[in-house]
């Protein structure tokens, strides 16, 4: 099966391409390289032992995307291509609405035109806002988003529901995932932020290796046991495998179908717990300082993942320590890329 992976050279996309190939699928990568690096394609090929077809294309370019649909017998799509930095989305909302929503609309148009029925959509726990009850399950109400990024995911899910209600012959799973971290155990691919990282773990590893002088912890006055935010941190390889499971599940569905599934570990860890765990696995003492809260951050969120296990037969296997050890190994192997 040929599976189009948009944003396939990004952090989650690259690991999912590897997982797809390992399960016998033929991934085809689309990436505009706006937030990824071309050398990751060679690293993917090194891991899976075969060449991968690649298009340097923007999903917002409908004409270019149509050419890809014409040239390949696509049987499914995993859609990652989106901007994802919460803080940046607050500063530049139109950039996020234009990119994240138009790219999805273009894909849905082409899927209907070329009878490609299976879609796994990259969604996010941000659709829940600051949930009143933890852990959150899929029936938890989606509250007003804390950021334009989160709102693009809410609107994206609403678009998908409306298209399925229109009797479009599409089968869709929206994976609402929590906080992906870690790297492939080979240390050939991993998270590769440009400039100052927006995510906690690459900021930790860059501080540990000396690229950053000090780690900023955004807020220590949250109503949590240690005053820092709590998140559900999931190993990116577990997350990648969940996408493959979702695709396999969709192969068994016919007619109009949509479902929403949380992908996390089911456990919350605070920012300070992540720092302490990293210090244990790396043997490095991290310099850090508390700075004011960051706009768009919720206090705490972690997943009820029972639906993923029941519906997809999937559950996270790797620990927080595993993920941080892999992320540290990756950081130590990265050559100059900025």
Condensed to tens digits (0 to 9), the pLDDT of residues 87-97 reads 889 999 999 99
Among residues 55, 96, 128, 149, the one annotated as catalytic is: 149
Structure tokens at 222: 């949250």
Structure tokens at 212: 């950053």
Which SS3 state, helix, strand or coil, does residue 216 take? Answer: strand
Pairing of strands 74-79, 230-231: unpaired
Q: Kindly state the average pLDDT of the residues 266-293.
A: 97
Q: Is 149 a residue of the active site?
A: yes
pLDDT of res. 144: 84
Which phi and psi (to 5°) does residue 246 adopt? -65, -40
Running DSSP on this structure, what letter comes out for residue 293?
P
Question: How far is CA 309 from its chain centroid?
Answer: 19
Neighbours of 119 (CB within 10 A): 26
Kindly list the domain boundaries of the chain, sorted by start residue. 2-181+234-264
Share of the chain above pLDDT 90, in %: 88
Q: Is the pTM of this model over 0.85?
A: yes
HEC string of 33-93? CCCCCCHHHHHHHHHHCCCCEEECCCCCCHHHHHHHHHHCCEEEEEECCCCCCHHHHHHCH
Give CA–CA dist 144/85, Å, rounded: 18
Is the predicted pLDDT of residue 338 greater than 50, yes or no? no
Pairing of strands 269-270, 230-231: antiparallel
Q: Kindly state the average pLDDT of the residues 137-149.
A: 89
Instruction: Tell me which H or E stretch contains 259.
Output: strand 257-263
Give CA–CA dist 206/203, Å, rounded: 5
**CATH class of domain segment(s) 2-181+234-264:** alpha beta
Residue pair 52/280 in contact by the 8 Å Cβ criterion = no
Is the predicted pLDDT of residue 24 greater than 80, yes or no? yes
């Amino acid at each position: 099966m040929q599976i189009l992976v948009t944003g396939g050279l990004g952090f989650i996309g690259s690991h999912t391409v590897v997982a797809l190939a390992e399960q016998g699928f033929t991934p085809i990568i689309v990436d505009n390289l706006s937030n990824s690096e071309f050398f990751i394609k060679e690293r993917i090929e090194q891991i899976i032992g075969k060449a991968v077809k690649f298009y340097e294309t923007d999903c917002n370019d409908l004409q270019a995307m149509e050419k890809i649909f014409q040239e390949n017998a696509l049987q499914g799509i995993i859609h990652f291509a989106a901007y994802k930095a919460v803080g940046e989305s607050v500063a530049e909302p139109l950039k996020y609405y234009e990119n994240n929503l138009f790219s999805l609309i273009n894909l849905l148009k082409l899927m209907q035109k070329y009878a490609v029925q299976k879609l796994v959509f990259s969604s996010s726990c941000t659709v829940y806002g600051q949930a009143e009850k933890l852990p959150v399950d899929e029936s938890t109400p989606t509250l007003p988003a804390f950021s334009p990024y989160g709102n693009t995911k809410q609107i994206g899910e609403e678009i998908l529901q409306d298209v399925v209600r229109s009797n479009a012959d599409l089968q869709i799973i929206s994976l609402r995932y929590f906080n992906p971290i870690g790297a492939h155990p080979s240390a050939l691919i991993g998270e590769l932020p440009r400039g100052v990282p927006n995510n906690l773990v690459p900021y930790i590893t860059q501080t540990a290796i000396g690229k950053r002088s000090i780690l900023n912890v955004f807020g220590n006055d949250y109503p949590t046991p240690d005053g820092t935010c709590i998140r559900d941190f999931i190993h990116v390889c577990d997350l990648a495998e969940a996408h493959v499971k979702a695709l396999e599940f969709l192969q068994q569905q016919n007619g109009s179908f949509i479902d929403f599934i949380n992908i996390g570990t089911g456990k919350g860890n605070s920012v300070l717990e992540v720092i302490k765990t990293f210090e244990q696995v790396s043997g490095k003492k991290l310099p850090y300082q508390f700075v004011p809260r960051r706009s768009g951050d919720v206090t705490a969120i972690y997943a009820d993942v029972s639906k993923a296990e029941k519906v997809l037969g999937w559950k996270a296997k790797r620990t927080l320590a595993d993920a941080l050890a892999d992320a540290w190994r990756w950081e130590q192997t990265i050559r100059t890329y900025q």
